[in-house]
């Protein structure tokens, strides 16, 4: 498990935005992963998708790495942000915009506003 945690840590450190998810950003394999990937894709955020279904070690290891029991899991600039419910709330409140701005992560502000308008 130490090797898996090292790989996860290296992946998170080497990429500004990482989404550990079931499936891929172009073909999510669960509704929660689809929602978070959809938000990031719609907002034009460049992110690395890690398909936990392709590696059982990573699927279990990410839960221990973050001390978070569910997938998907979003990391921004090496920090764990949260899962589907947290990302949804942050998107609707504008907190995700703030996090991206403070972290220097490019995103489409107009797209973020459209998400909020559609869910108002």
Position 1 scores a pLDDT of 60
Q: How far apart are CA 106 and CA 102, in angstroms?
A: 10
- For the chain, first and last CA: distance in Å? 44
pLDDT band of residue 120 (cuts 50, 70, 90) is confident
pLDDT in tens, 38-96: 999 999 999 999 999 999 999 999 999 999 999 999 999 999 999 999 999 999 999 99
Rounded to 5 degrees, φ, ψ at 73 are: -135, 130
pLDDT band of residue 10 (cuts 50, 70, 90) is very high
pLDDT in tens, 12-46: 999 999 999 999 999 999 999 999 999 999 999 99
Q: How far is CA 76 from CA 16, 45, 118, in A?
A: 6, 11, 25
The total number of structural domains that make up the chain:
1
Residue 2 predicted with pLDDT over 90: no
Model pTM? Answer: 0.95
Q: How far is CA 37 from CA 5, 27, 29, 31, 64, in A?
A: 23, 9, 11, 10, 22
Position 17 scores a pLDDT of 98
- Which domain range does residue 12 map to? 2-118
Whichever domain contains 39, its CATH number is 3.40.30.10
């Amino acid at each position: 498990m130490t090797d898996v945690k090292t790989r996860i840590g290296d992946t998170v450190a080497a990429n500004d935005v990482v989404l550990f998810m079931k499936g891929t950003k172009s073909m999510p394999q669960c509704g929660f992963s689809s929602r978070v990937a959809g938000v990031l894709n719609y907002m034009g955020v460049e992110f690395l998708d890690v398909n936990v279904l392709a590696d059982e070690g990573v699927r279990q290891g990410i839960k221990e790495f973050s001390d978070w029991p569910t997938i998907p899991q979003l990391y921004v600039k090496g920090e764990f942000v949260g899962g589907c419910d947290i990302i949804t709330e942050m998107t609707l409140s504008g907190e995700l915009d703030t996090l991206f701005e403070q972290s220097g992560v490019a995103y489409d502000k107009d797209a973020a506003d459209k998400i909020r308008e559609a869910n108002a």
